Amino acid sequence: MKYIEEFQDPELARRLLDDIHATVTRPWALMEVCGGQTHTIIRHGIDQLLPDQVELIHGPGCPVCVTPLEVIDKALEIASRPDVIFCSFGDMLRVPGTGRDLFQVRSEGGDVRVVYSPLDALKIARQNPGKEVVFFGIGFETTAPPNAMTVHQARKLGIRNFSLLVSHVRVPPAIEAIMQSPSCRVQGFLAAGHVCSVMGMGEYPGLAARHRVPIVVTGFEPLDILEGVRHAVRQLERGEHTVDNAYARAVRPEGNPAAIAMLEDVFEVTDRAWRGIGVIPDSGWRLSERYREHDAEHRFSVTDITTREPAECRSGEVLQGLIKPNQCEAFGTTCTPRNPLGATMVSSEGACAAYYLYRRLDLTPVRATDPIARTAPLEASPVV
Amino acid sequence: MSETTTLDVTGWTCPAPLRDRPRVVMGHGGGGALSAELVQHLFAPAFGGEVLAQMGDAAAVTLGGARLAFSTDSYVVRPLFFPGGDIGDLAVNGTVNDLAMAGARAAYLSCGFILEEGVEMSVVARVARSMGAAARAAGVEIATGDTKVVETGHGDGIYVNTAGIGLIPDGVDLRAQRVVPGDVVIVSGEIGLHGVAIMSVREGLEFGVDIESDCAALGGLVEAMLAVTSDLHVLRDPTRGGVAAALNEIAAASGTGVVLQEGKVPIPDPVANACAILGLDPLYVANEGKLVAFVPREHADAVLDAMRAHPLGRRAAVIGEAVESHPGLVVARTGLGGTRVVDLPLGEQLPRIC
């Protein structure tokens, strides 16, 4: 089984790095959209090996980080109910809501279970007809289709005690919002390869043309990242702004039609709040009317949620690429993985956690006097 | 797409802190930072005592002129039977290994069973037979025991606690505090097998190949190492929390830094692939038949040769060294040439969402 080594080969990496070094003539700022890419970059020290002129800005593509506090609090409330079995992917359990997390709910007697597939949650629902089984449906275009399929299955099989707490988000509207921000420094994007493997590349040419930014569909292993950077830098140096596929082994231009069909059947596009960022129009999915009985928010009246966020956390700016994690005053001091202020420090894909875990030895916290550390406030928008 | 929002960074904030946990969470037993905090801030102050303060896998005590290693461990593994072992041989080998990490050959074990009402007697018998066989293989006698039964729903079938004592040979003094810059770090073989084997059966995950736990008693391997030199500095079996936790504990206790050569760590392909699929780091995955040794540089080659000559050390490898810089921290040099901190895990590793 050689799926990994060949994409981490040091010799091939060196050649790609040499090529990037030879190509770059001036500074460029690239955003890797996905938290998985951030993780690879920091874990393998790729940012240390790139030319100084190539700055990698970490984007909002961590599903754990961007799930709004309000939804987490709804999850905590639902999971606390005695008649509920609450199922979730593992990394959501540690994300703090207002004052507690799902681990804590479990320690207080809540039936919170880690599953590896939403279908496992459906199985639990069949095995526990006297309980309400809720699956925490978060994530991007990658996790949305299997979650959609699970709801589809539940309806088809008449499993009425299964519902989905939905907080799915879509990448292209987030890119649009980032590019529209006056503080934006991003000149090119490494698009998330797994998102494109589902959705295809059709959503990107318009974005690339409208904002004159190259968008390179990029994978997740070290060589994938370097290849993506190379494509983006080449385009920038030539003054081009097209969509490249540097992840052709996984991404077809049309994506996965079956997955897209499933999404269209079960979900409908909606405005969605991104934690730390605010509401981005059309950036999410919710269950469509036909599947409303499987919508946990509809089934459980989780109202009167009062969220409370610490003022010193700047993860919203980190998620937008406006500051680096160590440019937050709380980084490594009042905010660590042990005592996280924000989801970007909790999630294993979060940029703050990646910086703290892998890079804190050579990082000096940068204070607010840094010119980038306090970007000019933008016009008002709803913040959730 | 409808009209695009403009974003107001001034209001961007995020979640509330979880400074203190009022209740025990699973991470408190994960062998990482939460476990260490529980011991350091709750148990140790309550118990006091100089011996406990050593914080080794086993306590080194002197009794009637004899230097003894003394250790206890509880086993709550699920499922009870897994590829490469079961809760029985795990309970014997785990405590034997804790004693071996103090340089001692285990002599006697105790065994405490907590059985759940309703568990089949044939399952208990199978576990007992497995414990007996493991004890005989390790050259240790199960000398005393205890049995309790809890009501249905109050246990996972069978929990086992074992404690053990063994004699520490003269001249052997294995403590993290003895580690000095320049020591060579050796791992006895391929890592991550136990944790991935358990995950594969517990979660019903299939990785395309059979992965068996490395569960084994390490007393013989340690004896082979000590036959080369009694001047080993510290041994640690990287169980929960994996190699990363073991190295961090040693770095913290010794006040030295550790540099790990990531590419030198033996990681079997199936483990690497399973971890890649789940978003886990093999350095943090549990082992039950491996050890990490800090060895004075002048003895490193001879110790490595002795390990490789032993069946449980064939794939032994030098994976790093102790250094003066960054005291208390473990830093990995990545395969591509970058560096990263290898931190103490917080609690249990959590599979990533995507």
pLDDT tens string B109-144 = 999 999 999 999 999 999 999 999 999 999 999 999
Model pTM? 0.81
Q: With beta carbons under 8 A apart, name residues in chain B contacting A4.
A: 272-273, 276
- Triad A54, A175, A147: Cα angle to 5°: 120
3-state secondary structure B32-100: CHHHHHHHHHHHHHHHCCCCHHHCCCCEEEEECCEEEEEEEEEECCCCCEECCEEHHHHHHHHHHHHHH
Q: Where are the alpha helices (DSSP H) in chain B?
A: 33-38, 44-47, 87-100, 121-138, 193-202, 219-228, 242-254, 269-278, 297-308
- Number of A–B residue contacts, CB under 8 Å: 239
Q: With beta carbons under 8 A apart, name residues in chain A contacting B9.
A: 183, 316-317, 320, 322, 375, 377-378
Distance, CA of A328 to CA of B19 (rounded, Å): 19
Q: Which of A99, A344, A383 sits opposite B16 (nearest CB)?
A: A99
Q: What is the mean pLDDT of residues B14-28?
A: 57
Whether residues B326 and A361 touch (CB distance < 8 A) is answered with yes
Q: Which of B10, B16, B278 sits opposite A98 (nearest CB)?
A: B16
CB B317 within 8 A of CB B264: yes
Q: With beta carbons under 8 A apart, name residues in chain B contacting A112.
A: none
- What is the reported pLDDT for A269? 97
Q: Which of B5, B352, B354 sits opposite A281 (nearest CB)?
A: B5
Q: Which two tokens mark B120? A: 């089949």
- What is the reported pLDDT for A280? 92
Closest CA to A243 of A202, A185, A195: A202
Is the pLDDT score of B185 beyond 70? Answer: yes
Whether residues B2 and A339 touch (CB distance < 8 A) is answered with no
Is the pLDDT score of B222 beyond 80? Answer: yes
Whether residues A1 and B331 touch (CB distance < 8 A) is answered with no
ipTM (interface pTM)? 0.73
A362 to chain B, minimum CA–CA distance in Å? 9
Instruction: Quote the mean pLDDT of chain B.
Output: 88
Q: With beta carbons under 8 A apart, name residues in chain A contacting B257.
A: none
Strand order in the sheet with B339-341: B234-236, B292-295, B184-187, B317-323, B257-261, B330-333, B339-341
Q: How many CA atoms lie within 13 A of B244 on its CB side?
A: 28
Probe site for chain B from A167, A309, A322 (most B CB atoms < 10 A): A309
pLDDT tens string A128-177 = 999 999 999 999 999 999 999 999 999 999 999 999 999 999 999 999 99
Q: pLDDT tens per residue, chain A (384 residues)?
A: 456 677 888 899 999 999 999 999 999 999 999 988 988 998 899 999 999 999 999 888 888 888 988 899 999 999 999 999 999 998 888 887 887 889 899 999 999 999 988 999 999 999 999 999 999 999 999 999 999 999 999 999 999 999 999 999 999 999 999 999 888 889 999 999 999 999 999 999 999 999 999 999 999 999 999 999 999 999 999 999 999 999 999 999 999 999 999 999 999 999 998 887 889 999 999 999 999 999 999 999 886 677 777 788 888 888 888 888 999 999 988 888 777 887 788 776 788 988 888 887 766 544 433 333 333 222 223 322
pLDDT tens string B298-322 = 999 999 999 999 999 999 999 999 9
